[in-house]
Amino acid sequence: MRSTTLLRFFAALAALVATPAFADYVIAPSGGDISGARLSAQLADGDVTLTAASGDVVVADTVNWSAHTLTLSAPSGSVNVNAVMTASGSAGLSLETDASEADGGVVMALTAGGFTGRVDFTGTGQSYRVNGTAYTLIHTLAELEAIRPASGAITGTYALAADVDWSGAASQTPLGTLGGSGRLDGLGHQLLHLAIPGNTDDTGLFSSADGGAVIRNLGVRGGSVSGGGWVGTLVGNSSGVIAHVYSTADVSGTLFVGGLVGFHQGSGSLIADAWAGGNVTGTGAVGGLVGTTYPGSAIDNVWASGNVTGTASSIGGLVGTADLGSTLRNAYATGNVTGSLEVGGLVGYNHQGLVEHVFASGSVSASSNSYVGGLVGHNETGAGGSVSDGWFASDTSGAHPDNGVGTAISLANLILALPGGFDATVWANQNGRTTPYLKSLPGAVYVKAESASAADAQVYTPVITLEQLQAITDDLAGHFALFNDIDATITRTWNGGAGFVPIGNCSGGFDGRFDGLGHVVGGLFIHRVDAICVGLFGGLGIGGVVRNVGVDDGAIAGGIAVGGLVGYNDAGEISNAYAAVAVAAGESGGGLVGFTTGNVGNAYATGSVTVSGEDAGGLTGGNRGVIRHVWASGPVTGGGSNVGGLVGLAMNGTVTDSHWDRFSTGQGDGVGVVSAGANVSNITAVTSDPAQSAAANYAFMQGAYASLDFGGTWTAFDGTRPFLQGEWQTTLTNAHQLQLMSLKLDAAYVLGRHVDAGETGRNDGTAANSNGMWAQTGFMRVGTDGSRFLGSLDGQYHVISGLTINRPAIDSWVGLFGKTGGVIVKNLGMAHVSITGTQEVGGLIGLSQGAVVSNVYVTGSVSGTGAVGGIIGAMQGGSLSNAYASADVSSTGPYVGGVLGGNAGNLHDVYATGSVSGPNAAGLVGYNADASGGLIGNGFWNIDLVGQGVGTADTAGGLSAGTAGLSSSRWLSQGPVATGLWNPANGWVPGYPYPVLNGFPYVLVLAHGAHVTQGVPAVTVDSYSVVDQDGNDAGAWVDGAPTWFADPGLAAGAVAHVGGAGVTLAAAYPFHQLTYLGAGVVQSSSTANLTLTLTQGSPDYVTYGRIVDYVVTLSNSGSATATGHAVQASFGGGADVGAATWQCIAGSVEAACATAGNGPIDDAVTIPPGVSMTWLIHVPVATATQAGTLDFEFSAEGLDPVVDHATIVLFRDGFDGVQDTILAR
> Which domains does the chain show, CATH number per domain?
155-422+433-447 (2.160.20.110), 460-704 (2.160.20.110), 781-966 (2.160.20.110), 986-1083 (no CATH), 1090-1224 (2.60.40.10)
C-alpha distances in angstroms, 504 versus 556, 592, 595?
15, 16, 15
Q: For 685-700, what is the mean pLDDT? A: 98
Average pLDDT over residues 142-166: 98
pLDDT-derived band at 3 (thresholds 50, 70, 90) equals: very low
pLDDT at residue 1139 tops 60: yes
Q: What is the pLDDT of residue 1184?
A: 66
- Cα angle 926, 931, 933; round to 5: 80
- Cross-strand partners of 64: 86
**Alpha carbon of 560 to those of 529, 589, 605: distances in Å?**
9, 7, 19
Residue 1198 CB contacts under 8 Å (≥ 6 apart), including other chains:
1, 1090, 1125
The pLDDT score that the predictor gives to residue 99 is 86
Q: Contact at 8 Å (CB) between 434 and 303?
A: no
Instruction: Name the DSSP class of 203.
Output: B
Question: What pLDDT does residue 1097 have?
Answer: 62
Tell me the backbone φ, ψ of residue 770, rounded to 5 degrees. Answer: -110, 5
**Residue 142, pLDDT above cutoff 50:** yes
Across the chain, what does the average pLDDT equal?
93
The confidence band for 1103, taking pLDDT boundaries of 50, 70 and 90, is low
Judged against a pLDDT cut of 50, whether residue 765 lies above it is answered with yes
pLDDT in the model for residue 958: 58
Give me the sign of the Cα torsion angle 518, 524, 526, 527.
positive
Tell me phi and psi for residue 1140, to 5 degrees. -65, 140
| 541-597 pLDDT per residue, tens | 999 999 999 999 999 999 999 999 999 999 999 999 999 999 999 999 999 999 999
Cβ atoms within 10 Å, residue 906:
17
Distance CA 24, CA 541 (A): 47
Q: How many CA atoms lie within 13 A of 763 on its CB side?
A: 29
**CA 290 to centroid of chain Cα atoms:** 36
pLDDT digits (tens, 9 = 90+) for 895-949: 999 999 999 999 999 999 999 999 989 999 999 987 777 889 999 999 999 989 8
* Helix-strand-coil split of the chain, %, nearest 5: 10, 50, 40
985-1010 tens-digit pLDDT: 999 999 999 999 998 999 999 999 99
Q: Give me the helices (H) in 114-268, please.
A: 141-145
Least confident of 144-158, 173-187, 375-389: 375-389
Contact 294, 321 (CB under 8 A): no
* Total Cβ atoms within 10 A of residue 64: 18
1: confidence class by pLDDT, cuts 50, 70, 90: very low
Better-predicted residue by pLDDT, 1182 or 269: 269
Provide the 10 A C-beta neighbour count for residue 1187: 12
Q: What is the b/e burial string over 1151-1172, where b = at least 16 CB atoms within 10 angstroms of the residue's CB? A: bbbbeeeeeebebebbbbbebb
- Omega of the bond leading into 1099 within 30 degrees of 0 (cis): no
Q: How far is CA 828 from CA 50, 853, 856, 1022, 1028, in A?
A: 26, 9, 5, 37, 19
Residues pairing with 1091 in the sheet = 1115
- pLDDT band, residue 961 (cuts 50/70/90): low
Average pLDDT over every residue of 709-719 = 97
CA separation, residue 144 to residues 139, 300, 457, 1116 (Å):
8, 29, 41, 69
Sign of CA dihedral 1015, 1017, 1021, 1024: positive
What distance lies between CA 639 and its chain's CA centroid?
A: 41
pLDDT score recorded for residue 8: 41
CA distance 257 to 283: 8
Query: In a 3-state reduction of DSSP, which class is residue 517?
Result: strand
Q: Report d(CA 559, CA 498) in Å as an integer.
A: 13
Q: How confident is the model at residue 982 (pLDDT cuts 50, 70, 90)?
A: very high
Instruction: Assess whether pLDDT exceeds 80 at residue 955.
Output: no
| Dihedral Cα 280, 282, 285, 290, nearest 10 deg | -30
Find the helix or strand (DSSP H, E) in which 258 lies: strand 255-258
Q: Would you state the torsion angle of the CA atoms of residues 498, 499, 503, 504, taken in this order, to the nearest 10 degrees?
A: 0
Give the 3-state secondary structure of residue 669. Answer: coil
| Residue 188 confidence (pLDDT) | 99
Do residues 401 and 373 lie in contact, with contact meaning Cβ atoms separated by under 8 Å? Answer: yes
DSSP helix/strand/coil, 736? helix
> So what's the pLDDT on residue 482?
98
Is 586 within 8 Å of 615 (Cβ atoms)?
A: no
Predicted local confidence at residue 841, as pLDDT: 98
Residue 641 pLDDT: 87
Helix (H) or strand (E) holding 636: strand 636-638
The band of 1031, judged by pLDDT with boundaries at 50, 70 and 90, is: confident
1196-1213, pLDDT tens digit by residue? Answer: 998 889 888 877 765 534
CB 865 within 8 A of CB 891: yes
Higher pLDDT, 482 or 1137: 482
Whether residue 770 is predicted with pLDDT greater than 60 in this model: the reply is yes
Q: Band the pLDDT of 1187: cuts 50, 70, 90.
A: low
User: What is d(CA 1068, CA 1015) in angstroms, rounded to the nearest whole number?
Assistant: 39
What backbone phi and psi angles, to 5 degrees, belong to 1149?
Answer: -70, -25
Residues 114, 219: Cα–Cα separation, whole Å: 7
CA 1017: distance to chain centroid? 42
pLDDT (tens digit, 9 = 90+) per residue, 861-873? Answer: 999 999 999 999 9
Distance, CA of 1202 to CA of 1127 (rounded, Å): 12
Give yes or no for residue 137 having a pLDDT over 60: yes
Cα separation, 544 vs 630, in Å, equals 20
Q: In sequence order, what are the residues at sequence separation of 6 or more whose Cβ sits closer than 8 angstroms to the Cβ of residue 527?
A: 497, 498, 499, 555, 557
- Express as a percent the part of the chain with pLDDT over 70: 95
DSSP code of residue 1084: P
Distance in Å from the first CA to the final CA of the chain: 16
Contacts of 274 (CB under 8 A, 6+ apart): 242, 243, 244, 245, 246, 260, 289, 301, 302, 441
Query: Which pLDDT band, with edges at 50, 70 and 90, does 1098 fall under?
Result: low
- The mean pLDDT of 450-455, rounded to a whole number, is 93
Dist CA 799 CA 811 (whole Å): 25
Determine contact, residues 857/830, Cβ cutoff 8 Å.
yes
Q: What is the total residue count of the chain?
A: 1225
| Neighbour tally for 417: CB within 10 Å | 12
Instruction: Compute the average pLDDT of residues 677-692.
Output: 98
Question: How confident is residue 1215, by pLDDT bands cut at 50, 70 and 90?
Answer: very low
Residues 783 and 128: their CA atoms lie apart, in Å, by: 53
Average pLDDT, stretch 58-72? 98
Q: Which of 40-54, 824-838, 1196-1210 has the lowest mean pLDDT?
A: 1196-1210
Average pLDDT over every residue of 1131-1138: 87
Residue 1224 has pLDDT above 90, yes or no: no
Confidence of residue 383 (pLDDT cuts 50, 70, 90): confident
Give the angle subtended at the CA of 129 by the CAs of 127 and 131, to the nearest 5°: 160
